[in-house]
Amino acid sequence: MDASHVEQDLVNVLFTEKQIQDRLGELASEIERDYAGHDLLIVGILRGAVMVMADLARSLSRHVEMDWMAISSYGSGTKSSGVVRILKDLDTDITGRHVLIVDEIIDTGLTLSWLTSNLTSREPASVEICTLLRKPEALQMPVEVKYVGWDIPNEFVVGYGLDYRERYRNLRDIGTLSPHVYS
């Protein structure tokens, strides 16, 4: 689905599919350089990071292991509740492993701060974060992020894995959702 299919629901398109793919290729190059000579486990955060995780992994020119976690702090609303629940934990033992958390967006930072602490307690060699989008104005908890696609304004965005009530995830672009949709 592209933006023309839902243009009445979007204020604007922030990033096109091509811009997203190009930026993920740049991030993949940085990751390959930084983890040269090391095995890497990338951990995607379900459901939103599915697109980012898949395309980032395909942009890498090296072997990489993948695992998934499902965590929730949103419920069905548009703002984080701040209460984090693990819905699906890792299947992989990360002790002594280099772990790269892959997420589609950092909003308040509460969820990723909690997750980073949780994974660090499992004694990996390292834990870093890669996110496609970050909202600096929305941060409530400082989170060290090694790889950031773009910083964006504090607006409600959808597409490329980002949803509103499970809609818009399969939109190839990322756009700002019109308030008339969620008001």
Active site residue 103: no
Q: How far apart are CA 59 and CA 62, in angstroms?
A: 9
**Residue 95 phi, psi dihedral angles, 5° rounding:** -55, 125
Out of 103, 107, 163, 173, the active site residue is: 107
> For strand 98-106 and strand 41-46, is the pairing parallel, antiparallel, or unpaired?
parallel
Q: How far apart are CA 154 and CA 42, in angstroms?
A: 27
Q: How far apart are CA 94 and CA 76, in angstroms?
A: 31
Q: Which residues are catalytic?
A: 107
